[in-house]
Amino acid sequence: KQRDPNQPEFHQAVEEVVRSLWPFLQSEPRYLKAAILERMVEPERAILFRVPWVDDQGVVRVNRGYRVQMSSAIGPYKGGLRFHPSVNLGVLKFLAFEQVFKNSLTSLPMGGGKGGSDFDPKGKSDNEVMRFCQSFMTELYRHVGANLDVPAGDIGVGGREIGFLFGQYKRLANEFTSVLTGKGMSYGGSLIRPEATGYGCVYFAQEMLKTRHEGFDGKRVAISGSGNVAQYAAQKVMELGGKVISLSDSGGTVLIEAGLNKEQFDYLMDLKNVRRGRIEEMAAHFGLQYLEGQRPWNLVCDIALPCATQNELDADDARTLLKNGCFCVAEGANMPSTLEAVDLFVEAGILYAPGKASNAGGVAVSGLEMSQNSMRLLWTDGEVDAKLHSIMQNIHHACVSYGEENGRINYVKGANIAGFVKVADAMLAQGVV
Ligand code: NDP
């Protein structure tokens, strides 16, 4: 905290890990002796750069670009790019740190990284977004590569942005390689990549529910966010017979008392991915209740899937959810629950999965996209979905193996220890580097 005083999100992510890891570390002195944890909290490399671009009025704009290369112990750096005004070094360090554990949990050979910019794609024209992406990649390209660092999307970086970034990389590097994942299907993408994080989150929740002989059928499911993760989480919940009662964006929440239906889902996909509109418009279009400026956590639900952003669910929200009978929380977003909220969920003994376990499906399928690119092959959607499903089941199994506590499963502890062990063993084997 003294070394990086202005990085509260990073401190929060590290604290969450250290709290559950510390008793384990004390029983494993070889990790302590080799200062594994001290090394893991320090990025191997962090790059910060200027991103100048020209807007549609001919005005020169300047943003800040970053890439945090946290750990390459078990594979090339891997993790998304976020374009959002709230992006700074501390936020990206928290995301990169989480990514190291998450990637390890997938069992695929991927290290951890994260990057992005304080650029806000909202309200920008396609041409402005393209010029920004080209400028961003003009610096980033020398730091990434198919065997070095493979970025993907995150908040504000979807298919459109990945396309522009990939085009500029190819032009500069003069090579067609798997330097980004989340690519379009016509140039090296994988089927099921757009769906992967949302589907994976629901698959993970399904495994948790099974431990209590429960399922999604007939359950009221509150979802926050309405972007990539929220959209496909909602679709999978509907498929499994659950009732999606909410979606949200930074403006507010739409309440769907009867449960999201197919027509509303199709409208949402067009609204958010094509027209880039606000969730308020969906409420108006279907005559649904719109809760301006509110998050969905005071709605009565059985299951909550926070799929928007960090710290979107605090202690008061957690108390309300518990009071209203919510018994399962699976995080689609990264660190959406504050430390206090996590403590309340764990103390209450409900099924609670931290994002590093339950949202690992996205990066897992990114790993599968890299494999397909290396082999010059394309797997069918059924093949990729089956692999995703089995990876999520394996992550659940790993959490159960390491997270058993007084007859219950502490998924925070399980995910942190299982994710840590693989990286730590690789670091021990590779010496002090
Ligand atoms: P998108 O940009 O597609 O959607 C983000 C959604 O969250 C939007 O509805 C957005 O609303 C809302 N949101 C973002 N910031 C805020 C904020 N400060 N306050 C309230 N609402 C906010 O991003 P993704 O769906 O890809 O990502 C969502 C979360 O999932 C992030 O935490 C991300 O790190 C995580 N994640 C994503 C993966 C992926 O494969 N995409 C993989 C693993 C984790 P608005 O449009 O109004 O800003």
Please name the residue whose Cα sits nearest to atom 22 of ligand 1.
Answer: 250
Q: Return the number of other C-beta atoms located less than 10 Å from residue 273's C-beta.
A: 15
305 lines ligand 1 (CB under 6 A): no
Here the tokens at position 370 are 């890299």
Across-strand partners of 252?
249, 292
332 lines ligand 1 (CB under 6 A): yes
Ligand 1 centroid, distance to 210 Cα (angstroms): 28
Q: What is residue 219's predicted lDDT score, i.e. its pLDDT?
A: 98
Ligand 1 centroid, distance to 88 Cα (angstroms): 16
Ligand 1 centroid, distance to 167 Cα (angstroms): 24
244 lines ligand 1 (CB under 6 A): no
Q: Return the number of other C-beta atoms located less than 10 Å from residue 314's C-beta.
A: 17
Q: What is the DSSP secondary-structure string of 166-205?
A: HHHHHHHHT------SS--GGGT--TTHHHHHHHHHHHHH
Rounded CA-CA distance 90/114 in Å is 11
Ligand 1 centroid, distance to 84 Cα (angstroms): 10
Please write the tens of the pLDDT for every residue from 182-237: 999 999 999 999 999 999 999 999 999 999 999 999 999 999 999 999 999 999 99
Long-range contact pairs involving 377-383 (C-beta distance under 8 Å, separation at least 24): 378/190, 378/191, 379/190, 379/191, 380/191, 381/191, 381/192
242 lines ligand 1 (CB under 6 A): no
Say if residue 376's pLDDT is above 90.
yes
Q: What is the DSSP secondary-structure string of 65-84?
A: EEEEEEE-SSSSEEEEEEE-
Locate the ligand 1 atom nearest the alpha carbon of residue 336 and give its number. Answer: 32
In this structure, the strands spanning 112-117 and 77-83 are: parallel
Kindly indicate the confidence band of residue 245, based on its pLDDT and cuts at 50, 70 and 90: very high
Task: Indicate if 78 belongs to the active site.
Answer: no
227 lines ligand 1 (CB under 6 A): yes
Q: Of residues 78, 93, 102, 114, which has the active-site annotation?
A: 114
Ligand 1 centroid, distance to 208 Cα (angstroms): 23
Q: Locate tokens 């309300």: which residue?
A: 320
Locate the ligand 1 atom nearest the alpha carbon of residue 231 and give its number. Answer: 25
Rounded CA-CA distance 284/125 in Å is 25
Please name the residue whose Cα sits nearest to atom 23 of ligand 1.
Answer: 155
Q: What is residue 1's predicted lDDT score, i.e. its pLDDT?
A: 81
Kindly indicate the confidence band of residue 3, based on its pLDDT and cuts at 50, 70 and 90: confident
154 lines ligand 1 (CB under 6 A): yes
140 lines ligand 1 (CB under 6 A): no
Locate the ligand 1 atom nearest the alpha carbon of residue 363 and give its number. Answer: 42
Say if residue 353's pLDDT is above 90.
yes
Here the tokens at position 315 are 């202690």
How far is residue 137 CA from its own chain's centroid? 22
Please write the tens of the pLDDT for every residue from 75-108: 999 999 999 999 999 999 999 999 999 999 999 9
